[in-house]
Structure 1
Amino acid sequence: MVQGNEILRRTLDRKDALLICEGNALQTDFLLLHAGGETRQVWRPVMRHLLEAGFTSTAYDQRGHGESTGSTGDGIEAFGRDTAAMIQTHRPALVVGASLGAYAALLALHGMRAKQEVRGLVLVDVVPAPNRCKVRRFLAAQAPQLSQSPLVDDILNRARQMTDAARSLTLPITLVRAGPSGPVTDDEVEKFQASCPQVQLRRVHDAGHLIARDAPQALAKVLTGFAHDLGISRKG
């Protein structure tokens, strides 16, 4: 049974950061990873809709965000190691990553034993090898504080590594794409699906890049649908 409406705050102690999370179960159905510049609070409406559908979830402040310590200057590899530790702690059936969270999830799942326990991966409006110039223009317009971030540089410089990480995965992947204002292009989606045939596309047409913020109910519906497709049953 789902443990109820109570949201519990927990910590995950890393040697160079203390990570803060909240969720309604330690062993969770969904691990939710926010985008750069966001916090775990962006997931709260999604978590509520998931709980109403009978699924548990846990959302973290990633290092250097929200209440978590550590620095974004530690690089995307550190985020990937953090995510691997989250997976080992919470043993989620599904990992959901938005932007930064998606790249951290790809690195975490690439080559780790825990990926055998993860049933599926959801990438929210992000592909492994985005167009660098378009990403820069998008961030300059939508999130100027991130446009010159060293972390963004680190991620963009790892397009080949991210692509290889995605190709290494055999688990089902859902790409949730935003509406026309999002940064992901049709060509990028086609290339992603060509390199990873298991990728299925879902659209949330009325949302911008931050789908969890713009359309939490629609995103939760996609997530629960993916869970049902994989035979992950509701707990309630």
Structure 2
Amino acid sequence: MTSDLKIPSTDVTLAADHWGDPAATPVVLLHGGGQTRHSWGATGRDLAGAGWYTLSADLRGHGDSGWSPDGVYDLDRLAGDVRAIVEHLGSRPVLVGASMGGIAALAAIGQQPDLALGLVLVDVSPFLQAAGAGRIRAFMTSRPEGFASLEEVADAVAEYLPHRPRPRNPEGLRKNLRERDGRFFWHWDPAVMRAPTEHPVQRDPRIDSARLGAAAAGLRVPTLLVRGGASDVLSAEDARHFLDLVPHAEFHDVAGAHHMVAGDDNAVFDQVLGDFLERRVRNRLTR
């Protein structure tokens, strides 16, 4: 892995890690809200081992990427960042996006249909469950005062993700935090979850079902939707609605996985992703 890649995008600079041969077909991994590029580490390494050039970037306002100077994190900004990453690569990639990263990828392809070789959406679509999305928002907007210790952080994560074992060693959480004045704060800009004043407080301006639905209906690239079988964000009905819009799309339900599918069952997710890439992208390129 090579770290600390910097990609300029309008008003911010994006941080990224990359694996594999830059001459190989690229796969761009885009994490969900509240995550960082590190959430794709195992997947990035596995794909590089299978002959793909893999890049995982921090979304704006997350990790080591820049924060929007004006505090705006709307679809246009996110989609523009995806286009900046593709421009940096110099060739069309497969876009793999989880949650917010998937919304960004879909919006970018909606603006530029020939942007990518393929699209993989992980537990996200233009249609989502408000309760599940609200749970994420509640977690990301909690604890503005930060944490006194890494143990407190581990407790908060365990409460948010009760289906996962509590980390035995909380030191691994440091990469998701920023330390200031002896306290630990989440790595994301608090403005990421702050809706602009022209929108109701409870509405996320990034979840624009009409705009994203139109982008989905216009998809002409190989597409895969992966759902966590236990997800409270993307319901089975939401998935069916997406597949009605995109009849050529493939679908896989990862039994027992929650919203953060790759983190809950990375082995199954990587197998599903690798199979899709081989059949629908690599085989198509080598014909």
TM class, shorter-length: 0.7 to 0.9
* Offset of residue 134 of structure 1: 4.5
The 5 A counterparts of 1:205-220 are: 205-220=255-270
For the pair 1:32 / 2:29, whether they are aligned, the reply is yes
For the pair 1:192 / 2:239, whether they are aligned, the reply is no
> 2-side partners of 1:180 and 1:150: how far apart?
27
C-alpha root-mean-square deviation of aligned residues, in Å? Answer: 2.4
Q: Matched residue of 1:74: which SS?
A: coil
Q: Matched residue of 2:217: which SS?
A: helix
* Offset of residue 74 of structure 1: 3.1
Identical-residue share of aligned pairs (%): 28
Residue segments in structure 1 that go unaligned for 5+ positions in a row: 1-5
Q: Matched residue of 1:209: which SS?
A: coil
Aligned length: 224
Show the counterpart of 1:3. none
Show the counterpart of 1:84. 83
> 1-side partners of 2:55 and 2:232: how far apart?
26
1:167 to 1:51, Cα distance in 2 relative to 1, 3 A: same
> 2-side partners of 1:230 and 1:106: how far apart?
18
1:57 to 1:149, Cα distance in 2 relative to 1, 3 A: same
Show the counterpart of 1:124. 122
Residue segments in structure 2 that go unaligned for 5+ positions in a row: 143-189, 196-202
For the pair 1:168 / 2:223, whether they are aligned, the reply is no
* Offset of residue 58 of structure 1: 0.3
Name which of structure 1's ranges 219-228 and 20-29 shifts more when overlaid on structure 2.
20-29
**TM-score where L is the length of structure 2:** 0.71
Determine if contact 2:94/2:117 at 8 Å carries over to the other structure.
Answer: yes
1:21 to 1:227, Cα distance in 2 relative to 1, 3 A: same
Match of 2:7 among 7, 12, 17: 12
Deviations 1:17-75 (A, max 9, x none): 01111102445521000001111000001112222323221000111100011236332
1:33 to 1:17, Cα distance in 2 relative to 1, 3 A: same
1:183 to 1:220, Cα distance in 2 relative to 1, 3 A: same
Determine if contact 2:113/2:220 at 8 Å carries over to the other structure.
Answer: no
> 2-side partners of 1:49 and 1:159: how far apart?
33
Show the counterpart of 1:111. 111
Bigger RCO of structures 1 and 2 (CA < 8 A, at least 6 apart): 1
Match of 1:178 among 225, 228, 237: 228
Q: Matched residue of 1:35: which SS?
A: coil
Show the counterpart of 2:174. none
Structure with max Cα Rg: 2
Determine if contact 2:22/2:53 at 8 Å carries over to the other structure.
Answer: no
**TM-score where L is the length of structure 1:** 0.85
* Offset of residue 153 of structure 1: 1.0
* Offset of residue 106 of structure 1: 0.9
